[in-house]
Structure 1
Amino acid sequence: MVNYVMDPAVLRPLVPRGVELDLWQGEALVSMVGFLFLDTRVLGVPIPFHRDFEEVNLRFYVRRETPEGWRRGVIFVREIVPRWAIASLARGLYNEPYLACPMRHHLTAGTCEYGWHFAGRWNSLSAEFRGEPVLLGEGSAEEFIFEHYWGYTRLRDGSTAEYQVEHPRWRAWTAENPRLEGDMTALYGAEFAQALGRAPVSAFLAEGSAISVRKGAGVRGGGGGTSNIERPTVSTSSRS
């Protein structure tokens, strides 16, 4: 997870109704995230040849106030996966901005790299790490980045959908020498490419865990209503 400061004015038009930007020490952050999904199941059923796969996404952070308190979540700008069927299923279930591209990854004892082929070239996200992972510190930048357990997306009719992501607290390494290489303008547009071209403010590598993504529900009203969150739609384990 490689994290950059972003102009809030660029992000606000992407924020759906009922939620607001969640800032870290007064700044809006975007994250380039590489995941390796393992043993993925949809409604408890494994799909042959679609259980283990990479994903690279660009996301930013929001929150929604409910009677139970703040729900901290993420909005995805774009999510890249290697198979058309995965992208189509995710768009259908969650109306998320998925894109299918050829992908690859490389993991050694001290380096992690994800690659995707888009606009006629290979792009990559990589970093180095050493030592042992540690639990996220209370109030730390790592905790802010990782501890967002809700997803939000704008539906085609202009309303907002909310879904819950469940996983235990992760252990993480502070990554070294993070690198993002490729044509970010073609993928995300000039304003995002400008932010992603600057030096990142932080980078982390998490060891991952079992994850459940529950079926979404609508956000009622301006942000105070609660949602009915049902049983897991997608379950998987991950390495990020």
Structure 2
Amino acid sequence: MKPTVTRIESPALQKGWIMTQTWEHLLFAHWAIQPSVLRPLVPAELELDTYDGNAWLGIIPFLLTGVRIRRMPPVPFTTRFPEINVRTYVKRKGRSGIYFLSLDASNWLVTTIAKKWYRLPYYPASIHFRTSSDSIDFQSRRLTSPAAKGFSVSYRPDSDVFFAEKGSLEHWLTERYTLFCDCKTTRNMYSADVYHEPWKLQKAAVQYRENTLTEHLFPSAEHPGLFLYSRGVQSFVWPIRKTCGPEGGLPH
């Protein structure tokens, strides 16, 4: 039996979230990178998280569905669209999370709102996302400056479903429930929490065609070191909150 999207089992137990999203047909593609390469790209207020001495860069293409503000009806043309994000892994005061280097999406309204609301580095893109009986084809091309950034790949699940074992690299990369972001204007650091059930993962078989999203980080790299696939999860997203002010000071 093919895996299905994992729904939140007891939504009534989750208090304070403001948005729900479902993430479908995800490819987790990852590179191990020297921490010194990524350190200049991450705010000083965040500690670069490492696994066995390596920092990791993730590129995750997927399909967003069911996007909705809590207690509000769905907004037309914003509930379903493909996205791709480039992220690395960070910590702040012992709390592990994700820091996004870029996010490309095919919905201009969502990218505009997300940049202002969540201070996330979104870019509008032309994205082709197609599922067939046995694979997903994903092609993205950024529409604004820096222009012509693209990613092209086909992928499919290639193993039985498994849950990542705690302490494993797969668990370290995927089971993250906090995002960190920074506002370039105010120089404030923010964070937001996310909840979903644990990922049901599968190994992925990949036909990897193009990646100009991260060529400035490692021009000679051709293939990520780790491919994982997930059919997807429903998620709840909490409001953004300020975690520190300029020069790393605590918020007042």
Tell me by how many angstroms 1:123 deviates: 3.5
User: Which among 169, 191, 194 is matched to residue 216 of structure 2?
Assistant: 191
8 Å Cα contact 1:10-1:191 kept in structure 2? no
User: Which among 24, 37, 40 is matched to residue 51 of structure 2?
Assistant: 24
Partner of 1:124: 152
Partner of 1:177: 206
Tell me by how many angstroms 1:163 deviates: 0.8
Partner of 1:168: 197
1:153 equivalent to 2:181? Answer yes
TM-score by length of 2: 0.78
Question: CA-atom RMSD, angstroms?
Answer: 2.5
User: Which among 61, 64, 71 is matched to residue 92 of structure 2?
Assistant: 64
Distance 1:201 1:92 in 2: 34
Tell me by how many angstroms 1:54 deviates: 0.6
- Bigger shift: residues 105-114 or 23-32: 105-114
Partner of 2:11: none
Provide, for residues 85-111 of structure 1, a one-character-per-residue CA deviation record: whole Å limited to 9, x for no partner. Answer: 110010011111101111121223432
Partner of 2:103: 79
8 Å Cα contact 2:159-2:203 kept in structure 1? no
Runs of 4+ in 1 over 3 A off after TM superposition: 118-123, 220-226
Partner of 1:104: 128
User: Which among 151, 154, 165 is matched to residue 137 of structure 1?
Assistant: 165
When residues 216 and 17 of structure 1 are mapped into structure 2, their CA distance, relative to the original with a 3 A threshold, is: farther
Q: Unaligned regions of 5+ residues in structure 2, if any? A: 1-27
When residues 180 and 23 of structure 1 are mapped into structure 2, their CA distance, relative to the original with a 3 A threshold, is: farther
Amino acid at match of 2:109: A
Partner of 2:33: 6
When residues 180 and 214 of structure 1 are mapped into structure 2, their CA distance, relative to the original with a 3 A threshold, is: farther
Instruction: Give % identity.
Output: 25
SS in 1 for 2:176: coil
8 Å Cα contact 2:62-2:83 kept in structure 1? yes
Distance 1:110 1:29 in 2: 29
- Bigger shift: residues 47-56 or 15-24: 15-24
1:201 equivalent to 2:215? Answer no
Distance 2:181 2:79 in 1: 24
Tell me by how many angstroms 1:72 deviates: 1.1
Distance 1:120 1:79 in 2: 14
